[in-house]
């Protein structure tokens, strides 16, 4: 079973945290989403007014998606940590001062997902202070074409296809011989990728999301609030 992350962005202004709203297409779209998805009960209360529904839909739409990047999950919270990476901070629950919009949206997702876990949050300040240059080594099995790509670029690539040892595992020298013969079918070989935490996290998080977060305010006043489901 796979694991997904649900993440929201908050910004602090005048001593209070606020959900950073997304761009929405039209007010009519909000009404449709409110009526179809979010007319439900929440812990201790029922969302009834149109204002609350629209606010809640905005929160629903504010999720920032990372895809299933387990390396990034490991760095953010130690989740799916097959590489034994050190997380920025171990999961510490949802913040006590989270905005109402974030709380409502999380409540809706908690009601929708059965296996939610590892709730946490990170400020942009903590993300920027983390040492993303630290070295990471990963041992994995690759097939013939994967071995060729590895020799061309022997670094950690989150998108590289890896295999379980269900087929015949041979030495690198034997794979080289098979490549020369043009027959690598059914063969796997072990390689050691070398990279950094930055490489494991991938380009979207550090080169797209983090710069966007920096535009929102001081690093100590911007944070990610997130949890996982499996």
Question: Which of 2, 210, 229 is CA-nearest to residue 106?
Answer: 229
Cα separations in angstroms, 182 against 48, 49, 144, 153, 185: 67, 67, 9, 21, 9
Q: What percent of the chain has pLDDT over 70?
A: 72
pLDDT for position 194: 87
Considering the domain architecture, whether residues 49 and 156 belong to the same structural domain is answered as no
If one compares 84 and 35, the residue with the highest pLDDT of the two is 84
Task: Indicate whether 214 pLDDT > 70.
Answer: yes
Stretch among 15-19, 28-32, 113-117 having the lowest mean pLDDT: 28-32
Considering the domain architecture, whether residues 146 and 167 belong to the same structural domain is answered as yes
Considering the domain architecture, whether residues 113 and 28 belong to the same structural domain is answered as yes
Identify whether the C-beta of residue 40 lies closer than 8 Å to the C-beta of residue 111. yes
Identify whether the C-beta of residue 153 lies closer than 8 Å to the C-beta of residue 218. no
Instruction: With residue 117 as reference, give the H or E element that holds it.
Output: strand 116-123
Considering the domain architecture, whether residues 122 and 144 belong to the same structural domain is answered as no
What value does the mean pLDDT take over residues 118-144?
93
Chain center to CA of 89: 15
Q: How many domains does the chain have?
A: 2
Considering the domain architecture, whether residues 118 and 170 belong to the same structural domain is answered as no
Stretch among 13-17, 63-67, 137-141, 203-207 having the lowest mean pLDDT: 63-67
Considering the domain architecture, whether residues 11 and 81 belong to the same structural domain is answered as yes
Considering the domain architecture, whether residues 209 and 146 belong to the same structural domain is answered as no
Considering the domain architecture, whether residues 30 and 88 belong to the same structural domain is answered as yes
**What is the extent of the structural domain holding 163?**
135-199
What value does the mean pLDDT take over residues 32-46?
37
pLDDT for position 116: 79
Average pLDDT, the chain: 78
Considering the domain architecture, whether residues 72 and 150 belong to the same structural domain is answered as no
pLDDT for position 158: 59
Considering the domain architecture, whether residues 189 and 218 belong to the same structural domain is answered as no
The string of pLDDT tens digits covering residues 154-193 is 877 655 556 666 678 999 999 999 999 999 998 999 999 8
The string of pLDDT tens digits covering residues 75-128 is 999 998 888 899 999 999 999 999 888 887 777 666 554 577 889 999 999 999
Considering the domain architecture, whether residues 125 and 149 belong to the same structural domain is answered as no
Considering the domain architecture, whether residues 124 and 223 belong to the same structural domain is answered as yes
Task: Indicate whether 217 pLDDT > 80.
Answer: yes
Residue with tokens 């041992």: 139
């Amino acid at each position: 079973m796979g694991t997904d992350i649900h993440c929201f962005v908050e910004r602090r202004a005048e001593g209070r945290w606020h959900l950073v709203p997304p761009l929405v297409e039209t007010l009519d779209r909000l009404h449709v989403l409110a009526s179809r998805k979010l007319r439900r009960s929440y812990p201790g209360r029922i969302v009834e007014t149109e204002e609350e529904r629209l606010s809640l839909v905005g929160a629903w739409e504010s999720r920032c998606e990372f895809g299933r990047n387990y390396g990034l999950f490991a760095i953010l919270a130690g989740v799916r940590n097959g590489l034994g990476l050190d997380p920025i901070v171990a999961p510490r629950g949802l913040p006590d001062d989270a905005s109402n919009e974030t709380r409502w949206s999380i409540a809706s997702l908690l009601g929708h997902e059965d296996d939610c876990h590892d709730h946490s949050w990170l400020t942009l300040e903590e993300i920027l202070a983390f040492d993303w240059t630290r070295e990471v080594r990963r041992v994995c099995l690759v097939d013939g074409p994967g071995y060729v790509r590895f020799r061309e670029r022997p670094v950690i690539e989150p998108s590289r296809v890896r295999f379980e040892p269900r087929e015949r595992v041979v030495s690198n020298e034997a794979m080289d011989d098979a490549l020369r013969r043009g027959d690598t079918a059914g063969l796997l070989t072990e390689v050691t990728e070398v990279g950094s935490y930055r490489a494991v996290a991938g380009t979207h998080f550090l080169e797209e999301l983090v710069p966007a977060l920096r535009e929102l305010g001081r690093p100590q006043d911007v944070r990610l609030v997130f949890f996982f489901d499996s």
